[in-house]
Amino acid sequence: GAVVSQHPSRVICKSGTSVKIECRSLDFQATTMFWYRQFPKQSLMLMATSNEGSKATYEQGVEKDKFLINHASLTLSTLTVTSAHPEDSSFYICSASPAGVYNEQFFGPGTRLTVL
Amino acid sequence: GDSVTQMEGPVTLSEEAFLTINCTYTATGYPSLFWYVQYPGEGLQLLLKATKADDKGSNKGFEATYRKETTSFHLEKGSVQVSDSAVYFCALSDHQGNDKIIFGKGTRLHILP
């Protein structure tokens, strides 16, 4: 089946530093990747949609300068949390839609970010 | 806009009990409907889906039927196991061209041995 990986699975950083999270589709090409944020005991909040080779589309209320998304290839998208603060601590999950497949997303295992 | 409403948890059941988690949706178009499951510390896994009215999605003993007349997609299982303990998310995709998925708030399920 379609597998999506995320790296790292867990990261702890100091306030003010930047953190990069990678999302990879391991056995398929993904024209579209999605980044979600999940707060404790809550649902997933879509942050942005990224299409390979173009700028990401951010949801309302998500700071594009703080959450930098790059989708440079059909198998890799990165989310960089810039100048992280404790309130950015969360569980970040990516998903990927296979090229040519309609209405299907495969989710990564998530990355737990803790900002001290 | 489109939305998904599901019953709040946590839901606590004994092993072998019957499970129902209610889900209703609001959509302007004709969405596809999904149930995702999230086990502790993990990402989401697609449990089942249905793409048109009266379709029944099923997997691992779970079932849900797409009811357009009641805009519902309730999740059921006849006999739950301890290993079914997880958070269950009802979701829809509104076919607006970007495959965006809208999730419910999730229902935490605890199964007691």
A79-104 pLDDT tens trace: 999 999 999 999 999 999 887 776 67
pLDDT at B96 over 70: no
pLDDT at B98 over 80: no
**From the CA of B65, how many Å to the nearest CA of chain A?**
18
pLDDT in tens, A29-74: 988 899 999 887 777 889 999 988 888 999 999 999 999 999 888 9
Stretch A4-23: mean pLDDT: 96
pLDDT of A40 reads: 77
**From the CA of A93, how many Å to the nearest CA of chain B?**
7
Partner-chain contact B100 A57, CB within 8 Å: no
The dihedral built from the CA positions of residue A9, A10, A13 and A16, taken in this order, carries a sign that is positive
pLDDT of B95 reads: 67
pLDDT at A116 over 80: yes
Choose, out of A105, A106, A111, A114, the residue to mutate when testing the contact with B (most B CBs < 10 Å): A105
Tokens 């001290």, residue?
A116
Q: Is residue A27 helix, strand or coil?
A: coil
Average pLDDT value over all residues in chain B? 92
Partner-chain contact A93 B45, CB within 8 Å: no
Contacts of A41 in chain B (CB under 8 A): 106, 108
Of A34, A26, A38, A17, the residue nearest A85 (C-alpha): A17
Q: Which residue of A has its CA nearest to B89?
A: A43
Q: Is some CB atom of chain B closer than 8 A to the CB atom of A82? A: no
- DSSP state for residue A90 in the 8-state scheme: E
Of B10, B105, B86, B67, the residue nearest A45 (C-alpha): B105
